[in-house]
Amino acid sequence: MESAKEPAQAVPFSSPFLPSSRWWSKETVAIVTGANRGIGFALVQRLAELGLTVILTSRDSERGHCAAQALRAQGLHVHCLSLDVSDPASIKTFVALFRMKFGTLDILVNNAAVSFNEINENSVKHAETVINTNFYGAKLLTEALLPMFRRSPSTSRILNISSRLGSLNKLRNPDIKNILESENLSEEQIEAVVRLFLQDVKNGRWEWQGWPKLWTDYAVSKLALNAYTRVLAKRYEGRDISVNCFCPGFTQTSMTGGKGKHTAEGAADVGARLLLLPPQELQTGKFFVGSSSSASTAASVVNSKL
């Protein structure tokens, strides 16, 4: 989600992705959460087309299996497992099943997310659900799966689907901004900021406490996810796991009511480029923003320090 303005006509992100250096194979295992539709589904399809083994996860088991079956009908190597990232018990069950069926992991895409607002709305009625899904869900799942990564400099990658709505410059509270900008930021500090936001929501004072103005609960969830990405990237720097964020921009999905400047397939194409960068071009702790340019490599996607 990039903007709440009325979108222009949708355009593709870029020309089709043609990898110049193939380091992956059918043995490369990728998990994509929230993937029965939208960007997640398109990303599963793109990765499977490129020859990876992909696990499509979905909160709704029936919809997930239907989505996976549609891709298998195209001859793609796709598996489906149920997962509700907002439910710690579901995460525990998923991880145990994944360990039994696959054992090791190379790529994790934290795509599952929710918002309960229309484009021009800004209610925080469901703030706790949004935070539990978009931030805590991604964090808990990542921490549970970290022991299963192969820890290879060429394959181990985590990509968190995020938004510029969660950029630090959207914060109007200087004290909170200073905390999140700190080079010594900790997970405990991030969670303290999240608790403060939920307390402000509970007490009815969130509107004048300097939180982001647009899609506030969603923006705070992505703000926390971006901060966690930076902390995790720093923790594993030099230890064979890259951790980055990717903002696909204002994309035509159910979350935006089908409105947007880009198609889900276009966003997935750029996401696949980032995920499959050659090892020598792989970075960590970056915030990538999708581009509608015709750049030939993922390195051309705009990126900045988180």
Which positions are catalytic?
Answer: 218
Contact 306, 242 (CB under 8 A): no
Which residues face 153 on adjacent strands?
none
CB within 8 Å of 185: residues ≥ 6 apart: 179, 227, 230, 231
Contact 243, 284 (CB under 8 A): yes
Minimal CA–CA distance to 79: which of 65, 92, 93? 65
Residue 55 structure tokens: 């696990």
Residue 76 structure tokens: 């793609």
Distance CA 56, CA 165 (A): 26
Q: What is the DSSP string of 85-140?
A: TT-HHHHHHHHHHHHHHT--BSEEEE--------TT----TTHHHHHIIIIIIHHH
Helices (H), 187-293: 187-202, 216-235, 264-275
- Three-state SS at 289: strand
Distance CA 109, CA 116 (A): 22
Distance CA 213, CA 122 (A): 8
Separation of CA 281 from chain center:
20
Q: How many CB atoms lie within 10 A of CB 183?
A: 6
